[in-house]
């Protein structure tokens, strides 16, 4: 295996049907502790609004508790949707986090409008006018405010050519959301071709975020993936739901007489045993020229989510690669509270 390829976690705090947002957030804390033990390099928290299925509406609120519950893993946002906020306030939030947890805080920045037009409007800074298209100016203001030795590393998250250009022109790391747009290898190349060295980054640094659902067998992984496939199917119909059980998802696709695989064919789902999707993950990373892979999964069962990351960590050898790059040698074990677990866990 290529020892230079790093593996990280992008967590969206999925809310399982039958549980609360609080359960989902405590599950994220638990998952972060497991990710650190398993050798993942980073644990990033996504920002989503207006959906009952994802509890991570404010990454900066969860980053502190995650950093406190761990000791070595880098913790960050994946990402903060900058158009909705003041650059000064974002800079102050992350300067505080970096002061509390020096060397461990990352700031991933994106520009998504929101879950729906209505949510996007509610997030607007000024609803009297159409939102300004001033992301580059906001980004430059933020970078100026973070121009200090102890500031967190800023990365750009995106799924379009424009985001690649913004990252390249400013000499920032670029994280491509393949789980949103699976046609990003040429966009990653555009980033590398346009890259200009900065004080914080001499060479282009590309990461790719992938759907990866792993179980001991291909059949079990495919069955577990039905929960997120139903969630996406309902989203396409304009209905936002909590993450359904596998059993309810099976029933949904049977009653609708539709294939769960064709319905979301435009999404790349790497689903299977470690032996099946391990090489696929590395192949996709190679197509992006990526130095780092963020693994994303949404399952109803918290235990199955942990098992997915654990199986992949053993196959991808995250622990050995993490030791090469980590500047922290100590590990502190913290007591864990009992967390939500589905009665329908696979």
Residue 265 in this model has a pLDDT that exceeds 80: no
Q: Is the pLDDT assigned to residue 333 strictly greater than 60?
A: no
pLDDT at 130: 76
pLDDT in tens, 161-213: 999 999 999 999 999 999 999 999 999 999 999 999 999 999 999 999 999 99
Q: So what's the pLDDT on residue 300?
A: 98
Nearest CA-CA partner of 40 in 307, 279, 317: 317
The answer to whether the beta carbons of residues 96 and 125 sit under 8 Å apart is no
pLDDT (0 to 100) of residue 324: 28
Q: How confident is the model at residue 129 (pLDDT cuts 50, 70, 90)?
A: confident
pLDDT score for 153: 92
Mean pLDDT, residues 64-88? 96
| Whole-angstrom distance, CA of residue 193 vs CA of residue 283 | 21
Give 210-248 pLDDT, tens digit per residue. 999 999 999 999 999 999 999 999 998 889 999 999 999
**Contact criterion met (CB below 8 Å) for 320 and 3:** yes
Statement: residue 264 has pLDDT above 90: no
The whole-number pLDDT of residue 115 equals 65
Structural contact between residues 260 and 315, judged by C-beta atoms closer than 8 angstroms? no
Angle formed at CA 106 by CA 102 and CA 108, multiple of 5 degrees: 160
Per-residue pLDDT band for 325 (boundaries 50, 70, 90) equals very low
Domains of the chain by residue range: 6-218+269-325
Helix or strand run (H / E) with residue 94: helix 87-100
User: CATH number of the domain at 6-218+269-325, out of 3.40.50.620, 3.30.565.10, 3.20.20.30, 3.40.50.300?
Assistant: 3.20.20.30
User: In which element (H, E) is residue 294 found?
Assistant: strand 292-296
Contact in structure between 43 and 12 (CB atoms under 8 Å): no
Q: Which of 2 and 330 is assigned the larger pLDDT? A: 2
């Amino acid at each position: 295996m290529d020892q230079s390829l790093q593996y990280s976690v992008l967590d969206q705090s999925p809310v399982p049907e039958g549980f609360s947002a609080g359960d989902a957030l405590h599950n994220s804390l638990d998952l972060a502790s497991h990710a650190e033990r398993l050798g993942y390099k980073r644990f990033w928290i996504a920002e989503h609004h207006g959906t009952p299925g994802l509890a991570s509406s404010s990454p900066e609120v969860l980053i502190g508790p995650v950093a406190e519950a761990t000791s070595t893993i880098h913790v960050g946002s994946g990402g903060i949707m900058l158009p909705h906020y003041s650059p000064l306030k974002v800079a102050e939030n992350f300067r505080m986090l970096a002061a509390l947890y020096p060397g461990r805080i990352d700031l991933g920045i994106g520009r998504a409008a929101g879950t729906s037009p209505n949510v996007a409007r509610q997030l607007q800074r000024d609803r009297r006018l159409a939102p300004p298209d001033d992301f580059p100016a906001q980004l430059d203001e933020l970078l100026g405010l973070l121009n200090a030795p102890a500031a967190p590393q800023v990365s750009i998250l995106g799924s379009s050519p424009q985001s690649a250009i913004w990252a390249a022109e400013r000499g920032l790391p670029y994280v491509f959301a393949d789980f949103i747009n699976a046609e990003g290898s040429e966009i990653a190349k555009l980033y590398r071709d346009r890259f200009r060295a900065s004080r914080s980054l001499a060479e282009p640094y590309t990461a790719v975020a992938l759907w990866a659902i792993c179980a001991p067998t291909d059949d079990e992984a495919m069955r577990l993936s039905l929960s997120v496939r139903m969630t996406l199917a309902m989203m396409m119909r304009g209905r936002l739901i909590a993450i359904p059980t596998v059993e309810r998802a099976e029933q949904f696709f049977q009653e609708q007489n539709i294939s769960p695989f064709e319905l979301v064919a435009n999404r790349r789902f790497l689903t299977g045993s470690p032996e099946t999707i391990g090489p696929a993950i590395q192949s996709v990373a190679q197509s992006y020229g990526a130095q780092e892979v963020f693994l994303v999964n949404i399952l109803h069962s918290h235990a199955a989510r942990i098992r997915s990351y654990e199986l992949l960590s053993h196959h991808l050898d995250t622990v050995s690669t993490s030791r090469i790059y980590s500047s922290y040698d100590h590990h502190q074990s913290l007591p864990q509270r009992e967390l939500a677990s589905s009665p329908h866990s696979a």
